[in-house]
Amino acid sequence: MSIYLIIIILLITLAAIDLTIGVANDAVNFLNSAVGAKVARYKTILIIAGLGVILGAIFSEGMMEVARKGIFNPQYFNFQEIIFIFVAVMIADVIILDLFNTLGLPTSTTVSIVFDLLGAAVAIAFMRIYYHHDTSLPLSQYINSANALKIILGILLSIFVAFFTGWIIQFFSRLIFSFHYDKLMKYLGSLWGAIVTTFITYFLFLKGLKHASFVSQDVTDLFLNNLGYFFLFSILAWTLIFQLLIWTFRINVMRFTVILGTFALAMAFAGNDLVNFIGVPLAGLNAYTDFVANAHGVGATSYLMTSLSGKLPVNLWYLLIAGGIMIATLFVSKKAKSVIKTAVDLSRQSEGYERFGTSLTARIIVRWGNGINKFLYSLTPQPVRIFVKKQFSTSKITDKKDGKAFDLLRASVNLMVASVLISIATTNKLPLSTTYVTFMVAMGTSLADKAWGGDSAVYRVTGVFAVIGGWFLTALIAFTTAFIIAVLISLGTFVALFTFFAFAMFLIIRTKAIHRRIQEKQAETVESSAEKITNKADFFEHILQIINVTFVNIKEILHIIINGISQNNLHEIKKGLKIYNEVIKKSKHHLQDAVMNINNIENIDDTNSYMELTLSFKQMNNSLKHIITPVFDHLNNNHKPMSYGQINDLQELFNDYSNYLDEITRDFSTETPPKTTEMETIRDQIIQKIKDIRKSHIKFMKHQNISTSTRANVLFFDIIYELKILIFSTHDLFESFYEMKETLSRKS
C-alpha cells in the first residue's frame, strides 16, 4: 500500500473526527433559538435540524472548491506539498476546534479552516523559497490573497451588522407585541408569521439554489430576478394559510416559524460549512486520484496539482455520509450541549448563574450604555415612556416556571434576522460566518429585550467579548498552529506527519476527559433547581442540603488551616484556599437558585427570615475568608510560626466549633422542635473559652520573659476574633432557618 494512500485514509479519518467536533461547535448556530425558547422537546428539535442538515449536505457540492483553491493557488504546488498542506490543516483544525468545544466556547469553523489553509500554504511556500531555494515565484503568487482578505473583511463587518440589526428589529417587534402577545397574535399572528416565514423560505431557496451544482444558472437567475413577486405572493399566501390554521386548529404561528427557521439554518450550516470539515480531505482525495492516474514516471515532488484549480465533481455518497455523521453527532455530543448552553445563557431573559466574570472593558461599556440610556430617557416625552415601559414589562409573564431562556417572539426574530442577513450576503457574494451572524443576532435581540439587566449586564458583556475574542484568537492560533505543523512536516516528512497525527489523537482523548471534569464541576456548582422545586417541603430540603454541604466544607477548611499552621505548610493552605473559593461559589449560586424558587412556591410571601439566613451565610463566608487569607499571607511571607501553645489552643477551638456544627446538623435531621437553649449553651461555652484563651495569651505575653513573634501573635488574635464572629453567624443561621420554617408552616 502506498504511503500516500495511508495518508489519504488518515485525512478521511480526521475528516470524520473534524465533523463530530465541528458540529459540536456549530450546532449553536441553528439550535440555540429553538432550545432557548423550548419550542419542542430537545430530540424533536434535533430531528428537524437533522433533516435540514441532510438537505444542506446535498446542496454543498458547489462549496467544496473553496478548500481546493479558495485560499491558495494549487497549480504552483507539487503533490507532496499539497498533501503536507492538507494534513497540517486537518490536524490543526481538529486540535483547535476540540479545544474550544472543551471550554464550551462557540467559534467560527470558517475562520478556523481559512486561517489553517492560509498558515499551512504560507509555510510550505516559505519552505520552498527559503529552505529549498526555489525562487521562481514570489511568496504572494502562491496565495489567493484577494479572496482571503475578502473573507476576513466580510466576517469583521458581519459582527457589527448582525448585532445592531438584531437589536433594532427586536426592539420594534417587542414594542408592537410586548411580552404579553397572546391576544394580539390572534389578530396579527398570521401576518407576522407570513413575514417571518417569507424571509426564512427566501433564505432557504437562495441557499439551496446558490450552491446546488445540479440547478442551472437560468433557474437561479429566474428566482433572483423576480424577488418582488416572490415576496408579495409569499406574504399573501402565508397570511391566508396561517389565518385558516389559527381559526381551524388554533395553531401557534410563532412555534411553526421557529421550527422552520431551525430547519433552514441547519440546512445553511450543512450547505455552507460542510466544506470546513470534509473539503480538505476530499481535495486530498482528488489530488491522490489525479496523481495515480496521470503522474506516470513523475515523482510526488515534481507533479504539479494543476487539476485542483479547475471544477471537480463530488460523489453524492460522500456528502450523504458526512450528513449522517453530523446528525449522529447532534444526538450524542455532550460538547454540543455545552456550546449551546453558553449561547443560551448569554441571551436568556431571566437572572441566574452567570458563567463569565467581569472585566474593566465590560464595566466601562455598561456605564457608557447606562449614561446614553439616561440621556435618551430624559429626552423622551412622558406618554412615550409609559407606553414603552408597559410594552417591555415582564411582570405578568405566565410561563416563567417552564425554564425557557426567552420566548417565541425573540426566537423567531433571531432566526428571521439571521436568515435575512445571510441571504443578503450570499446574494452579493459576500463571505459570511454563520456562527458570527447567529450569535451576534442573539446578543442584539437579548439586549433589546432588556435581558441584560443591572445584575447581569456586565457579565453578559464580558461573555460576549470572551466569545468574540475567541473568534479572533482562533484566527491567530489557526494560522500559527498550521504554519508550525506544516514546517515541521516539511522538515521531518512522513515521520513528523504520523507523529502529529498520533499527537492529535492523544489531545482529543485528553480533552474529552477534561470536558467531563468541567461538566462535573459545573454540575456541582451551578446546577439550578428553579424548575424542580414547586413546594415548601422540597424548598426546605434544598436549603438544608446547602447548609449541610457548607458545614462539611467549613470543617474541612479549618482542619486544613490547623495542619498548615502546625506544619508551616504553605501548600496545605493553598489547598484550603481552593476549597474556600469553591465553597463561596457553591453557596452563592445555590442561594440564588433558592431565591428564584421562592417565586415558584405558593404561599411564600414572608421572606424576612430567609434573608436573615442568607446574610448569616454571607457573614460566615467573610469570617472564613478573614481566617484563611491572613494565614496564607503569613506563611507565604515566611514569617515566624506560632508557638506550640497557640497552635494547641486553636486546635481545641476548631474542634469545639466542628462539634457545634455536628450538633446543629443532628438537630436539623430530627423532626422534634429545635434545641435552641442547648445550642445557645454550647455557643456561649465556646465564646467564653475564646475569651479565656485570649486573656491567657495576653497575660503570657506581658509577664513571661520569652521572645515571641509579634506577627504570629497578631495572626493568632485575628483568628480567634474571626472564629467568634463565625460562631455567632452560625447560630444566627440556625435560628433563622427554624424561624423561616415555623413562619411558613403557620401560613400553610
The reported pLDDT for the residue numbered 655 is 92
Residue by residue, DSSP assigns 138-170 as -HHHHB-HHHHHHHHHHHHHHHHHHHHHHHHHH
d(CA 118, CA 480): 10
Query: Which alpha helices (DSSP H) does 178-296 contain, by range?
Result: 182-211, 217-224, 227-249, 253-274, 280-294
The reported pLDDT for the residue numbered 120 is 92
On the question of pLDDT at 216 being above 50, the answer is yes
Query: Which range (259-263, 358-362, 472-476, 506-510) has the least confidence?
Result: 358-362
3-class secondary-structure state, position 72: strand
On the question of pLDDT at 346 being above 80, the answer is no
Counting DSSP H helices and E strands in the chain, the numbers are: 25, 0
d(CA 517, CA 507): 15
Beta-bridge mates of residue 304: 78
* Residue 423 one-letter amino acid: S
The reported pLDDT for the residue numbered 358 is 65
- Average of pLDDT values for 615-643? 86
Q: Which residue has the cell 433552514?
A: 264
d(CA 400, CA 596): 10
The reported pLDDT for the residue numbered 675 is 75
8 Å CB contact between 546 and 591: yes
Judge residue 111's burial from the number of C-beta atoms within 10 Å of its C-beta, 0-12 exposed, 13-18 middle, 19 or more buried.
buried
d(CA 427, CA 406): 31
| Torsional sign, CA 725, 728, 731, 735 | negative
Maximum mean pLDDT: which of 50-64, 90-104, 224-238: 224-238
Confidence of residue 519 (pLDDT cuts 50, 70, 90): low
d(CA 652, CA 486): 64
On the question of pLDDT at 653 being above 80, the answer is yes
- Tens of pLDDT along 727-746? 998 888 888 888 777 766 66
On the question of pLDDT at 533 being above 90, the answer is no
d(CA 153, CA 145): 12
**Could you tell me which residue, 87 or 582, shows the higher pLDDT?**
87
| Torsional sign, CA 588, 589, 590, 592 | positive
Query: Which alpha helices (DSSP H) does 568-607 contain, by range?
Result: 570-598
Q: Which grid coordinates are listed for 339?
A: 456550546
Q: Please name the helix (run of DSSP H) or strand (run of DSSP E) that holds residue 215, with its range, or none.
A: none
The reported pLDDT for the residue numbered 526 is 43
Query: Which range (41-45, 79-83, 96-100, 207-211) has the least confidence?
Result: 207-211
On the question of pLDDT at 597 being above 60, the answer is no
The reported pLDDT for the residue numbered 348 is 60
* Residue 725 one-letter amino acid: I
The reported pLDDT for the residue numbered 352 is 52
Contacts of residue 690, defined as CB under 8 A and 6 or more positions apart, other chains included, come to 653, 720, 723, 724
| Torsional sign, CA 686, 691, 694, 696 | negative
Cβ count near 138 (within 10 Å): 10
| Fold exhibited by the domain 532-747 | Methane Monooxygenase Hydroxylase; Chain G, domain 1 (1.20.58)
Torsions phi, psi of 464, nearest 5? -65, -45
Q: Which grid coordinates are listed for 571?
A: 501548600
Percent of the chain clearing pLDDT 70 (strictly above): 79
> For the chain, what are the domain ranges?
3-523, 532-747
**Could you tell me which residue, 474 or 351, shows the higher pLDDT?**
474
Maximum mean pLDDT: which of 91-105, 583-597, 641-655, 666-680: 641-655
- Tens of pLDDT along 108-128? 777 888 889 899 999 999 998
* Residue 206 one-letter amino acid: L
**Could you tell me which residue, 731 or 514, shows the higher pLDDT?**
731
d(CA 606, CA 609): 8
8 Å CB contact between 276 and 109: yes
d(CA 573, CA 628): 8
The reported pLDDT for the residue numbered 703 is 67
**Could you tell me which residue, 65 or 563, shows the higher pLDDT?**
563
595, 597, 598, 603 alpha-carbon torsion, rounded to 10°: -170
Cα–Cα–Cα angle for 623, 626, 632, nearest 5°? 140
Q: Secondary structure of the chain: what % helix, strand, coil (to 5)? A: 80, 0, 20
- Tens of pLDDT along 129-151? 888 778 888 888 888 877 777 77
- Contacts of 614-621 with CB under 8 Å at 24 or more apart are 615/732, 616/729, 616/730, 616/732, 616/733, 616/736, 617/550, 617/587, 617/591, 617/733, 619/725, 619/729, 619/732, 620/550, 620/554, 620/726, 620/729, 620/730, 620/733, 621/583, 621/584, 621/587
3-class secondary-structure state, position 304: strand
Q: Which grid coordinates are listed for 542?
A: 434544598
Judge residue 507's burial from the number of C-beta atoms within 10 Å of its C-beta, 0-12 exposed, 13-18 middle, 19 or more buried.
middle
Mean pLDDT of the chain, nearest integer: 79
The reported pLDDT for the residue numbered 336 is 59
d(CA 432, CA 573): 51
Q: Please name the helix (run of DSSP H) or strand (run of DSSP E) that holds residue 39, with its range, or none.
A: none
The reported pLDDT for the residue numbered 529 is 42
Cα–Cα–Cα angle for 428, 149, 128, nearest 5°? 135
Contacts of residue 659, defined as CB under 8 A and 6 or more positions apart, other chains included, come to 682
The reported pLDDT for the residue numbered 482 is 93
pTM for the whole thing? Answer: 0.66
Percent of the chain clearing pLDDT 90 (strictly above): 11
On the question of pLDDT at 430 being above 70, the answer is no
Q: Which grid coordinates are listed for 21?
A: 467536533
- Tens of pLDDT along 155-191? 778 888 888 999 999 999 888 888 887 778 777 888 9
Contacts of residue 36, defined as CB under 8 A and 6 or more positions apart, other chains included, come to 344, 347, 348, 404, 405, 406, 411
- Average of pLDDT values for 4-15? 87
Q: Which residue has the cell 522538515?
A: 491
Judge residue 399's burial from the number of C-beta atoms within 10 Å of its C-beta, 0-12 exposed, 13-18 middle, 19 or more buried.
exposed
Among residues 209, 92, 70, the alpha carbon closest in space to that of 152 is found at 70
On the question of pLDDT at 370 being above 80, the answer is no
On the question of pLDDT at 443 being above 70, the answer is yes
The reported pLDDT for the residue numbered 197 is 87
**Could you tell me which residue, 27 or 211, shows the higher pLDDT?**
27
- Tens of pLDDT along 444-476? 888 888 776 655 677 777 777 777 777 778 888
Torsions phi, psi of 135, nearest 5? -105, 25
Q: Which residue has the cell 432557548?
A: 36
- Tens of pLDDT along 291-337? 888 877 788 888 888 888 877 777 778 888 888 888 887 777 665 56
